[in-house]
Structure 1
Amino acid sequence: MGVLTQIQPLTGALALEASGIPDNLRKKPAMLPAVLVILIILGLILQLWRTRSRLSHIPGPFWASISNIPRVWWVWGRNAHRIHIGLHEKYGKLVRLGPNMVSVGDPNEIAQIYGFTGKFKKSDFYSVILPMSKGRILPGMFATQDEKIHSILKKPIASVYSMSNLVSFEPYVNSTMQVFCEQLDARFADRGQICDFSTWLQYFAFDVVGEITFSKRLGFLETGEDVENIMSDIWKFFQYVALAGLMPWTDRVWVKNPYISRLRPAGWNAMAAFALARQQEREQLEKSGEPAATNSKDFLSRFLAAREKDPSIPDWAVLAWTQSNITAGSDTTAIFLRTLFYNLLRHPDTLEKLMTELDDARREGKLSEVAAWHQARTLPYLDACIKEAGRIHPPFGMPLERVVPPEGATICGEFIKGGTIVGMNGWVVHRSAEFFGPDADVWNPDRWLCEDIEKRKAMDRGLLTFGAGHRSCIGKNISQLEIYKLVPTLLQRYEITLADPGTPWNLQNRWFVPQFDFNVKLTRRGEKELI
């Protein structure tokens, strides 16, 4: 024991000597925590310097180079799309929006970043969009980052979304338009009441999707209400995604935490829950052998048939498909329709020009009272107005984030290291004077009627209204079918005017989905106007 008593202090002294710690610190062990704090601070400074130096050649706000908090704050202030436009005006085609995030404002880079090669994968922003229940994440075509899952989901049903196939759904769009007009007549036009037009356009978009997907309208038009709070829940979800998507780790810690998720009540979000209920109803009918009052070729029928044909398709695929339909054909379409009517009413000269085209086509027998798809597609000014609406006000108000491949990429003449997040915001890209002219900031449908065919093709390539490349919105044809049919049908039936022309236009920026809310007066147009 005596030997051990002598050895232990000696060993400690040798350890101190070998460590190179000065004598004064050996005498004052209480100073060690202070040294550790200093070392930690120095480490953080070094990490901050390394983070900043990674993209030091890309201009942008200083605080954005060291933290994602500024871009979260911009979104929280519901003005991110305008701030992004201003930053690109100040700094140029490339702007650093975060420690590892670069915004790209040159339409020429769309092909590289969003091209069909798929080299630039979706960032973790999209992981936040996927719903989760009881520790189970439901994949989706739009949000999945896994290209294999995307292929599994898209390949069996891609042909269903072709425009040649979607035209077969036209009668069901017509039936919903009829209900829409009946409700507008009974509630507003016949009674001289003010119509919350922005809300009713969304009711229409939701019910069309219900009709073509489940052979059952969701009930928005008949009730004039937000059925099962679907719209409200969607907006709450979007508001969460807009913020958490910029710092995805927060979503992994809380919402996507499998342990915490299992403690919550079972259930999907409102859209998924509605879609799942309709799927279960259909499957029960098929098992019972009872005749179903449904369209045997609606989307749900085709989804179930695809799963039956290929047993390798997972059971959850049907729910992923139907939920994607609701998303693709409702909110995006509603925002698009609001934008179009808003700008037509704000610029009466363009509305008058469009009405002249519609009335002429009606007199010549080229346009029915309920516009057909093949008729609407032949109207050049209607086409120009719809394209301009998608350009001036794309539905998504934030960058569509992608990750630079490991080998890096040269973007706008600058080399960007692999792993860097890059993205293009349609609100920025669509204001390119090079592509869309010096008046790119203003509404001008005539730009799409220029005689220069190559110029028009270039403008088409510069659009991100529905995304681009192999991950563009699969439901864009559903949206276009609705828009091209509804706009001429309503404009032929009603004279639409602002309820209070003196009221300032109200742009409700719901974080990453900026949109217009406005009230109108609806007056039935007389047949004498067509004579």
Structure 2
Amino acid sequence: MHLLVLCLLPIVLYTTTRLALLIYTTLSHPSLLSIPGPFLARFTRLWYFRRVQKGQFEWDNIDLHARYGPVVRIAPDHYSITERAAVKKVYGPGSQFAKSAWYDGWRHPDPSKMILFPERNMKKHAEARKRFSSIYSMTSLLYYEEFVDRCADIFSQRLTEFAQREESFNIGHWFQCYAFDVIGDITFGQRFGFLDQGQDVEGAINAVENLMNYSTLVGIYPEWHAALFRILSHFKSTGPTGRSFIMQYVSNRVQQFNQANHNPEQANHTKKTQSFMEKLALARDKDPEKFNDYHLVMMGTSNLTAGSDTTAVSLSSILYHVLRNPASLDQLRREIDDFTAQGRCSEHVTFKESQEMPYLQAVIKEAIRMHSATGLPLWRVVPAGGAEISGHFFPEGSVVGINTWVAHYNEEVFPDARAFRPERWIEAETNPERLRVMNEMYMPFGLGSRTCLGKHISILEISKLIPRILRDFDFQLENRTWTTKNCWFVKPTDFNVRVQLRSREN
């Protein structure tokens, strides 16, 4: 009996403390009482946990706003918002809304093992981002195109083999293999090898998947993260072991790189193609106090955990939506074929060439609007002094967030939002104010100071591959609709297609 009491005591104390805090916050700020939402969400985060666990929260979130309005309570101190004015206030330049404790689930409990994405301290994040921003910049893309071309060549070879065998296959999985191999080549100057047979090399994909599942859910109860991490680290196929695997994997790659490039005086500082490791090693050798092997491991880990899923989901979304909309596919193909005939679209489509194709860019933007990679609110903490948002005053410490899907399906900004219509972006070019409003709500890579650092690399991979495969292959959907699972990234699970070689005369 005494043992049972000892076991239950921490739970009782925790529950009592949370309830007391909830009552205090509600009584101190009665305006929060009027914020609607599911009944259980007023008292416990369990409602939100269960909905996220089901894997369809992007649609749940949209439906909640359709039912309750622009501000919805989805946990006792978590509020989902949708109005355009709130986007700039919460995420815009100069915003003091820091990332919430949900992001702690993505970091190692050991603070010395930092990666950039979950860093909540705004000053530390700004300093780290400034340190690495140049290697992710648009001007650095020139150094990475050859890596993308190498992987695109193998991807096209795999498609040709599927066409010859007349086999159905899950192209979403192969987009993941492509994105993983590209980020491996860009980061380490060496592919992982996923594209060779479509298999999970050394369990890296599985490790990232386990980490994703764990971090997404434990972030809802971040106070349990450190204890759970220690416990689950002793078991295989868990989030913590996945994180350990990734960090060790990257550390080994850095060590191999250092051994193969042990003489910095022989390094080529001017060659056209340079991997992240080469760029960072040159910076390390030039200024060891600013860069060291820790920074190589930190950025390698960030690339591996976040550098493939966003691109793979986006590639899947683009192909899926054009296959479901034949008129858009025909128009896009005409543009690609015309550019090819004019000599403005190379065998290896260059990034510059892709940027000059207006309908291609509209298709990419519209598809990623309709199916963004991330599908949970981007949670932020209300800063000191509180904030007025959408007619409600939120006290300091409240957590607010906008889900990318909610923003992208806002009917006031994107009329007929559930329709795939790339033309909306082209039409907006003649209406600067309209385009400005649309761009303010377009946030597939985040906004403000926390915009995804790898955004340009992802766009590079997408812009080069999509026109190439649509020029060279015909695709047929096996199923009219696909199924997806939202575990932070909204990934298709059954994007099955058949493929045929396409005649260039078509």
TM-score w.r.t. the length of structure 1 is 0.85
Shift of 1:462: 0.7
Q: The residue matched to 1:422 in structure 2 has which SS?
A: strand
Q: Using a 3 Å threshold, how does the CA distance of structure 1 residues 316 and 149 change in structure 2: closer, same or farther?
A: farther
**Quick one: which amino acid aligns to residue 170 of structure 2?**
D
Contact 1:205 1:329 in 2 (8 A): yes
Shift of 1:211: 1.1
Shift of 1:299: 0.6
Contact 1:399 1:426 in 2 (8 A): yes
Q: Using a 3 Å threshold, how does the CA distance of structure 1 residues 288 and 143 change in structure 2: closer, same or farther?
A: same
Q: Percent identity?
A: 33
Deviations 1:180-228 (A, max 9, x none): 1122223x12222222211111100111111111110010011320111
Provide the rounded CA distance (Å) in 2 between the counterparts of 1:320 and 1:508. Answer: 30
Q: The residue matched to 2:72 in structure 1 has which SS?
A: strand
Provide the rounded CA distance (Å) in 1 between the counterparts of 2:16 and 2:226. Answer: 29
Q: The residue matched to 1:155 in structure 2 has which SS?
A: helix
- Which residue is 2:225 aligned to? 251
Shift of 1:247: 1.1
Q: Using a 3 Å threshold, how does the CA distance of structure 1 residues 149 and 527 change in structure 2: closer, same or farther?
A: same
The reply to whether residue 326 of structure 1 matches residue 300 of structure 2 is: no
Provide the rounded CA distance (Å) in 2 between the counterparts of 1:421 and 1:218. Answer: 39
Contact 1:373 1:485 in 2 (8 A): yes
- Which residue is 2:6 aligned to? none
Contact 1:52 1:65 in 2 (8 A): no
Contact 2:189 2:274 in 1 (8 A): no
Shift of 1:147: 2.5
- Which residue is 2:413 aligned to? 435
Contact 2:80 2:403 in 1 (8 A): yes
- Which residue is 2:73 aligned to? 96
- In the TM superposition, 1:161-172 aligns within 5 A as 161-172=136-147
- Of the structure 1 ranges 481-490 and 172-181, higher mean CA displacement relative to structure 2 is found in 172-181
Deviations 1:42-90 (A, max 9, x none): 9987655334444213221221011101000101111211111111111
- Which residue is 1:20 aligned to? none
The structure 2 residue matched to 1:489, chosen from 444, 454, 468, is 468
Contact 1:205 1:334 in 2 (8 A): yes
Provide the rounded CA distance (Å) in 2 between the counterparts of 1:149 and 1:114. Answer: 18
Contact 1:65 1:97 in 2 (8 A): yes
**Quick one: which amino acid aligns to residue 97 of structure 2?**
F
Shift of 1:266: 8.9
Q: The residue matched to 1:432 in structure 2 has which SS?
A: coil
Contact 2:181 2:193 in 1 (8 A): yes
- Which residue is 2:7 aligned to? none
Provide the rounded CA distance (Å) in 2 between the counterparts of 1:230 and 1:45. Answer: 41
Deviations 1:85-131 (A, max 9, x none): 11111111111111111111113322211122241111111111013
The structure 2 residue matched to 1:476, chosen from 455, 462, 470, is 455
The reply to whether residue 515 of structure 1 matches residue 491 of structure 2 is: yes
- In the TM superposition, 1:255-334 aligns within 5 A as 255=229, 268-287=243-262, 297-308=274-285, 309-313=287-291, 315-334=293-312
Q: How large is the RMSD of aligned CA atoms in angstroms?
A: 2.7
Provide the rounded CA distance (Å) in 1 between the counterparts of 2:201 and 2:235. Answer: 27
- Of the structure 1 ranges 478-487 and 292-301, higher mean CA displacement relative to structure 2 is found in 292-301
The reply to whether residue 408 of structure 1 matches residue 391 of structure 2 is: no
Q: The residue matched to 2:413 in structure 1 has which SS?
A: helix
- Which residue is 2:8 aligned to? none
Provide the rounded CA distance (Å) in 2 between the counterparts of 1:447 and 1:333. Answer: 23
Shift of 1:511: 2.5
Q: The residue matched to 2:261 in structure 1 has which SS?
A: helix
Q: The residue matched to 1:460 in structure 2 has which SS?
A: helix
- Which residue is 1:31 aligned to? none
Contact 1:81 1:397 in 2 (8 A): yes
Q: Using a 3 Å threshold, how does the CA distance of structure 1 residues 268 and 307 change in structure 2: closer, same or farther?
A: farther
Q: Using a 3 Å threshold, how does the CA distance of structure 1 residues 148 and 51 change in structure 2: closer, same or farther?
A: closer
- Which residue is 1:177 aligned to? 152
Deviations 1:265-324 (A, max 9, x none): 999434333222110101122337898999872111112223331414464222111122
Contact 2:41 2:73 in 1 (8 A): yes
- In the TM superposition, 1:193-232 aligns within 5 A as 193-232=167-206
- Which residue is 1:361 aligned to? 339
Deviations 1:384-431 (A, max 9, x none): 111111111111110001100011111112211110011110111111
Contact 1:234 1:270 in 2 (8 A): no
Q: Which runs of 5 or more structure 1 residues have no equivalent in the other structure?
A: 1-39
Provide the rounded CA distance (Å) in 1 between the counterparts of 2:328 and 2:86. Answer: 32
**Quick one: which amino acid aligns to residue 427 of structure 1?**
W
Q: Using a 3 Å threshold, how does the CA distance of structure 1 residues 362 and 334 change in structure 2: closer, same or farther?
A: same
Provide the rounded CA distance (Å) in 1 between the counterparts of 2:112 and 2:222. Answer: 15
TM-score w.r.t. the length of structure 2 is 0.89
Provide the rounded CA distance (Å) in 2 between the counterparts of 1:96 and 1:388. Answer: 29
Provide the rounded CA distance (Å) in 2 between the counterparts of 1:338 and 1:157. Answer: 29
| Larger Rg over CA atoms | 1
Q: Which runs of 5 or more structure 2 residues have no equivalent in the other structure?
A: 1-13
Shift of 1:377: 0.5
Q: Using a 3 Å threshold, how does the CA distance of structure 1 residues 115 and 485 change in structure 2: closer, same or farther?
A: same
Q: The residue matched to 1:506 in structure 2 has which SS?
A: coil
Provide the rounded CA distance (Å) in 2 between the counterparts of 1:472 and 1:271. Answer: 23
- Which residue is 2:23 aligned to? 49
- Which residue is 1:10 aligned to? none
Deviations 1:307-350 (A, max 9, x none): 33141446422211112222343110000001111111111121
- Of the structure 1 ranges 474-483 and 369-378, higher mean CA displacement relative to structure 2 is found in 369-378
- Which residue is 1:417 aligned to? 395
The structure 2 residue matched to 1:113, chosen from 90, 98, 116, is 90
The reply to whether residue 190 of structure 1 matches residue 164 of structure 2 is: yes
Q: The residue matched to 2:499 in structure 1 has which SS?
A: strand
Contact 2:143 2:272 in 1 (8 A): no
Shift of 1:363: 1.6
